[in-house]
């Protein structure tokens, strides 16, 4: 494990109508979201890697589709963790500041990801600085997703 990264299994409650899953509860996860968004990633496509100086991301991978999530801890020992996430392994993952992260959609289906970050993207009224170090834009980056 990487210090400060939280991984929570998500249980799908299934019946003849489909399924329901609690994806966030403030009594289980110590994070106050500032906003939320959903992204769809096509098979074979990578997002990241990048990191935040001040923001924590709260990713929810529930399906459809599956991902390889990659995490590198730059704060201490530069630890690395790779996690399968999505339809086969529905999880919530909190990524604290200083942990480089990125994911790749694997398999045949589009992958859906929900994020509940604890800071506003681009600041209040979208007039602030963007808190991102975009490692994927650096050809010399040591952080690669194959």
Tokens of 85: 């996430």
Q: Note whether residue 106 is domain-resident.
A: yes
**Quick one: pLDDT band at residue 1, thresholds 50, 70, 90?**
confident
CA 126 to chain centre: 21
What is the per-residue pLDDT for 78? 79
Task: Classify residue 1: in a domain, yes or no.
Answer: no
Kindly report the CA angle at 52 between 136 and 49, in degrees rounded to 5?
A: 20
Summarize pLDDT for 103-121 with one digit per residue, the tens: 999 999 999 999 999 999 9
What's the average model confidence in pLDDT over 86-96? 97
Alpha carbon distance 130, 122 (integer Å): 5
- Domain residue limits at 132: 6-137
Whether residue 39 lies inside any domain: the answer is yes
Determine, yes or no, domain membership for 146: no
How confident is the model over 22-58, as pLDDT tens digits?
Answer: 999 999 998 999 999 999 999 999 999 999 999 999 9
Q: State yes or no: pLDDT of 69 exceeds 90.
A: yes
The order of strands in the sheet holding 80-86 is 80-86, 66-73, 99-106, 46-51, 133-134
Classify residue 144: in a domain, yes or no: no
Within a domain: 129: yes
Q: Are 91 and 7 in contact (CB under 8 A)?
A: yes
Between 45-54, 74-83, 134-143, the lowest mean confidence (pLDDT) is in 74-83
Tell me the CATH number at 30: 2.60.120.10
Domain count, the chain: 1
- Residue 94 pLDDT: 98
Question: 119, 34 in Cβ contact below 8 A?
Answer: yes
How many Cα atoms within 13 Å fall on the side-chain side of residue 89?
12
């Amino acid at each position: 494990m990487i210090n400060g990264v939280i991984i929570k299994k998500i249980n799908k409650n299934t019946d003849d109508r489909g399924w329901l899953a609690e994806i966030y509860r403030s009594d289980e996860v110590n994070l106050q979201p500032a906003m939320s968004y959903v992204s769809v990633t096509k098979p074979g496509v990578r997002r990241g890697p990048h990191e935040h100086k001040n923001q924590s991301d709260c990713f929810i991978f529930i399906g459809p589709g599956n991902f390889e999530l990659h995490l590198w801890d730059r704060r201490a020992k530069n630890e690395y963790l790779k996690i399968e996430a999505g339809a086969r392994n529905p999880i919530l993952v909190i990524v604290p500041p200083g942990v480089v992260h990125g994911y790749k959609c694997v398999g045949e289906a589009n992958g859906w990801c929900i994020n509940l970050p604890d800071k506003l993207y681009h600041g209040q009224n979208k007039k602030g600085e963007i808190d991102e170090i975009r490692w994927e834009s650096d050809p010399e980056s040591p952080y690669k997703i194959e």
